[in-house]
Amino acid sequence: MKIEMVDLKGQYKKIKSEIDQAMIDCVESAEFINGKLVTTFADNLAKYVGVKHVIPCANGTDALQIALMALDLKPGDEVIVPAFTYVATAEVIALLNLVPVMVDVMPDDFSINLEQVKKSITPKTKAIVPVHLFGQCAGMEELLQIAKENSIYIVEDTAQAIGAKYIYKDGSIHQAGTMGAIGTTSFFPSKNLGCYGDGGAIFTNNDALAIRIKMMANHGQAKKYQHDVIGVNSRLDTLQAAILDIKLQHLDEYCSARNRAADYYDSGLASIEGLIIPKRVGNSTHVFHQYTMKVMNGKRDALKSYLQECGIPSMVYYPIPLHFQKAYQSERFPIGSLPVSEKLCEEVLSLPIHTEMTTEMQDFIIDSIKKFFNN
């Protein structure tokens, strides 16, 4: 029994005939760039997530960059981001000569700390980029309220949470990436909806923003050879769109498989002292891009090594908070200034979770963890 963090080979085998045919059709059509399937997939994804416009692009980092470019911010404008996330979120802000303003996250569900967001708002704050980390939505309803009161844009980083559903107080349901002004996602192979290379997309319900986003992603081109703004070249290959259009039809199954695996971990691990299983919040579903536990009492690295000896991979997402990274260090955020993010980097451990997990694998992982804790 070989256990992997993700099993893309096993997942491919199950849909091999569909995927192979789609790839052959695409190659035979020779529509490699901007083929019909790119639009078909974008339309299907828009229907799936419930958003008016989906603009495909080359990867999730580009999606974030193009989203911010479309907002027409000025150099020096501030964008609030959580310090406990993947670097891409802060990177694009800095690249556009904007200022990433880091805030802490909640210790239990890893979502952006709303009180700190409020305190960090200045006249220069123009956007907030919440990250729906590990597959569960941040506190969007309150965040949208804060943004509205301060005329700030929200750009949701939905790279890890495609398909997660957020429930408003009035009972209405909105998918991750469709609530803020703009949402961005990634189709990196290991993401919940992954292609066989790089890919990404941008979501918006705003017609004017959709036009600007399309233009930004296509050399700032309003009409052929008419460039109104400085843009970038960021496209989703037709071949990737063909693959994604098939995998989209399986996304609900994939989410269910991940949730079954998470529930199974929960029941096996909940009673272990010194281990905290992922918190499920009441107002969001979880799509378990990662199953991320907290290992208390300084035992995280020892547990990781022990599991490795047992042949079980595990990962630390993320080992270093953004404000500790050389490229993003700033006097504004000294060591100790974002204590929750700093502590989480020492406590979190993500277990293998994917669409092909078996109970045999999970029993072995759970038993090994129990052995480590002498449980």
Ligand X SMILES: *Cc1c(COP(=O)(O)O)cnc(C)c1O
Sketch the per residue contact string, 29 through 68, with ligand X: x for CB under 6 A, - otherwise: ------------------------------xxx-------
Q: Write down the residue that tokens 């460039």 correspond to.
A: 227
Instruction: State how far the Cα of 75 lies from the Cα of 95, in Å rounded to an integer.
Output: 10
Min separation Cβ 1 and ligand X, Å: 28
Contact between 265 and ligand X by CB under 6 A: the answer reads: no
Q: Judged by CB under 6 A, which of 41, 86, 134, 264 binds ligand X?
A: 86
Contact between 84 and ligand X by CB under 6 A: the answer reads: no
Q: Would you say 358 and 2 are in contact if contact means Cβ atoms under 8 Å apart? A: no
Q: Would you say 372 and 306 are in contact if contact means Cβ atoms under 8 Å apart? A: yes
Q: Which is nearer to ligand X, 71 or 366 (CB)?
A: 71
Instruction: State how far the Cα of 261 lies from the Cα of 124, in Å rounded to an integer.
Output: 44
Min separation Cβ 307 and ligand X, Å: 23
Contact between 186 and ligand X by CB under 6 A: the answer reads: yes
Instruction: State how far the Cα of 67 lies from the Cα of 61, in Å rounded to an integer.
Output: 10
Candidates 100, 103, 143; CA nearest to 120 is 103
Q: Which is nearer to ligand X, 157 or 366 (CB)?
A: 157
- Stretch in the footprint of ligand X (CB under 6 A) among 3-11, 157-165, 278-286, 341-349: 157-165
Q: Judged by CB under 6 A, which of 11, 65, 85, 314 binds ligand X?
A: 85
Using CB under 6 A, count the residues that bind ligand X: 15
Sketch the per residue contact string, 111 through 150, with ligand X: x for CB under 6 A, - otherwise: --------------------x-------------------
Min separation Cβ 51 and ligand X, Å: 18
Min separation Cβ 111 and ligand X, Å: 13
Alpha helices in 270-338 (DSSP H): 300-309
Min separation Cβ 209 and ligand X, Å: 20
Q: List Cβ neighbours of 16 (8 Å cut-off, separation of 6 or more).
A: none
> Could you please report the per-residue DSSP string of 77-140?
-EEEEESSS-THHHHHHHHTT-EEEEE-B-TTT--B-HHHHHHH--TTEEEE--B-GGGB---H
Contact between 200 and ligand X by CB under 6 A: the answer reads: yes
> Does residue 318 have a cis bond before it (omega within 30 degrees)?
yes
Q: Write down the residue that tokens 């470019």 correspond to.
A: 69
Contact between 177 and ligand X by CB under 6 A: the answer reads: no
> Residues in the site for ligand X, rule: CB under 6 A?
59-61, 85-86, 88-89, 131, 157, 159-160, 186, 188, 198, 200
